[in-house]
Amino acid sequence: MGKTLLITGAGSGIGRATAVRAAEDGYDVVLVGRRKGPLNQTLALLKEGAHSVLPCDVADRHAFRLGLRQVLGEPGFCDSPLVAVFANAGIGGSNEYAEDAGEDRWNEILRVNVTGVYVTLNECKTISHVLWSGKDACRGNKQCLGAVWCAESIGLCDI
């Protein structure tokens, strides 16, 4: 019997590299991300398996729930249980406090980097293993890269 790993943020970077390695190690991979094009590029890099693409915004609870049910209900996944989740989706870049709220990215960063992880983990409650990306990154670290990054990283610690 196979095993399935769900990876958010699988369209690039660490998510893509994790998906490639997981497929090499025999996992069927569910690739989750906002943009279908990059997810399909990741899919093309994976060795054989019952891999699937789920384009959606992980911070959108309803869309993620529906997409997850569709993907896990696809033929080929019945014999390959979802055994782990890598809640890796996130956005970066600078956020300077702006007088004009339209230029401030605070809400966008927290929505994706904190709410997205919260939704992912709560919709996958039955998963036996959860792999974190930077969960404790700021705890005890006085040289954090920025207040936004620290706030969202610390926000994840108690989810």
Question: Please, what is the average pLDDT of the chain?
Answer: 79
Q: Is the dihedral of CA 127, 120, 115, 15 positive or negative?
A: positive
pLDDT at 21 over 70: yes
Phi, psi of 131 (to 5 degrees): -100, 130
The answer to which of 26-30, 102-106, 145-149 has the lowest mean pLDDT is 145-149
Per-residue model confidence as pLDDT tens digits over 22-54: 999 999 999 999 999 999 999 999 998 889 999
- The arrangement of strands across the sheet holding 4-8 comes to 52-55, 28-33, 4-8, 82-87, 129-132
Q: Which domains does the chain have, with CATH numbers?
A: 4-156 (3.40.50.720)
Which pTM was predicted? 0.78
**What does the block give as tokens for 50?**
């019952």
Phi, psi of 11 (to 5 degrees): -80, -10
What pLDDT is stored for residue 82 in this prediction?
A: 81
The rounded distance, in Å, linking the Cα atoms of 19 and 112 is 20
